[in-house]
Amino acid sequence: MSTDTQAKVALSLIRATGRTHLGNYLGAVRSFVTLDAREDVSCIFGVATLHSLTTQGDPEALRRDIRGVVLDFLAAGIDPERSVIFDQTAVPETLQLSWILSCLATAGRLERMHHWKEKKDKLADLGQAANVGLFSYPVLMAADILGPGADIVPVGEDQVQHVEFARELARRFNHQFGEYFKIPEVLEREAIRVPGLSSSGKMGKSEGEKATLYLSDSYDQQWNKVKVAPTDPARVRLKDPGDPQKCNIGGMHRILDQIGLHEAGALQWVNEGCTQATMGCFPCKKKLLDVMEEAFLRDIRERREKFAAKGDGFVDEIIAAGNQKARARIQPIVEGAMQKVGLITRWS
Ligand code: TRP
Ligand code: SF4
């Protein structure tokens, strides 16, 4: 975090729910790297380990994934000298603030959250009941945001409603107890929704391992997954024309074009080659992976290997240092909020 007091604070957390994949990278981590590089913004990036508990019941997996997320942050190019990287759990004050905010939030408002409604219905379909953590999830997220006094919160479209809720709670607090919290701005990330390789669902969720390109995969592992990915079923033989709109590989080419990773003409080459049957799916897939390999996959893999070779201790030290910085920032802001509502924080 820059010590420049003029710099705006950007904050975002990611849940630790498995290995980081291409969808996480293009959808979120890539925008963190961009913010990390900005001189006018100081960044705080966290692993939302407490939020992970709402859906995670495997302690071993959680421990592994926390370090994995941080390693992937580093591999993606976030510089821990510039940005704070921390574990949500290491700042207990966030939970104190979360409680205060939960006393300002109404149950009716939480019941109307898209995220809650979706999760609850999905669980119901599986014959399971939703836990209270899932219900109050947005309150804890508001505490994450207001605790460090974030100015900017970069999130994907699915989380925008939660950031708006944090803004509401900040206003309500200020109205009831006097001006205190900054009203954070939502920075909606470019809507990039990477499909799984073999379905229309999001990468990572739908078809699991074989349809998901992990940042930690080797090139060969990635190629083996791309190679067998289904394409437009109309393309049985090389001379059968296809429709890139009906193909996830075609969809990924469009994403690369959208975010400026494709050179001029590349998307047209794909579209024409596919619809006019002048190109097979194999070179189309090869092109896709190779563009990503050159643009970021190789760098990420190499950095990841370099950092991983330093052992858990290396990652742990970065988290520990980040935890300290995050807590030093959040603790006084939360203590001030506690005093505002009438709690006594120091008895002597
Ligand atoms: N709820 C977010 C998600 O699932 C993660 C998150 C937790 C978060 N706390 C946050 C994002 C604070 C931004 C700011 O993606
Ligand atoms: Fe998909 Fe490319 Fe094959 Fe067309 S040529 S069906 S876009 S893989």
| Element holding 176 (H helix, E strand) | helix 160-177
Entry field: residues in the chain: 348
Q: Which ligand is nearest to the Cα of residue 280, counting in written order? A: 2
Pocket flag, ligand 2, residue 287 (CB < 6 Å):
no
Measured in degrees and rounded to the nearest 5, phi and psi for residue 20 equal: -70, 130
Q: Are residues 42 and 72 in the same domain?
A: yes
Q: Are residues 30 and 64 in the same domain?
A: yes
Task: State whether residue 163 is helix, strand or coil.
Answer: helix
Task: Please give the tally of structural domains in the chain.
Answer: 2
Q: Is residue 225 part of a domain?
A: yes
CB 212 within 8 A of CB 196: yes
Q: Is residue 95 part of a domain?
A: yes
| Element holding 290 (H helix, E strand) | helix 281-292
Find how far residue 80's CA is from the centre of its chain.
17
Q: Which ligand is nearest to the Cα of residue 153, counting in written order? A: 1
Q: Is residue 210 part of a domain?
A: no
**Annotated catalytic, 205?**
yes
**Annotated catalytic, 119?**
yes
CATH number, domain with residue 299? 1.10.240.10
Strands 84-87 vs 185-188: parallel, antiparallel or unpaired: unpaired
Residues 6+ apart with CB under 8 A from 308: 71
Active-site annotation holder among 8, 205, 246, 340: 205
CB 305 within 8 A of CB 242: no
Q: Are residues 99 and 185 in the same domain?
A: yes
Q: Is residue 119 part of a domain?
A: yes
- pLDDT per residue, tens digit, the chain (348 aa), is 445 567 999 999 999 878 889 988 998 899 999 999 999 999 999 999 999 999 878 999 999 999 999 999 999 999 999 999 999 999 999 999 999 999 999 999 999 999 999 999 999 999 999 999 999 999 999 999 999 999 999 988 889 999 999 999 999 999 999 999 999 999 877 777 888 888 767 787 666 778 899 998 999 999 999 999 999 999 999 899 999 999 999 999 999 999 999 999 999 999 999 999 999 999 999 999 999 999 999 999 999 999 989 988 999 999 999 999 999 999 999 999 999 999 999 998
Parent domain of 272? 217-306
**Annotated catalytic, 287?**
no
Pocket flag, ligand 2, residue 98 (CB < 6 Å):
no
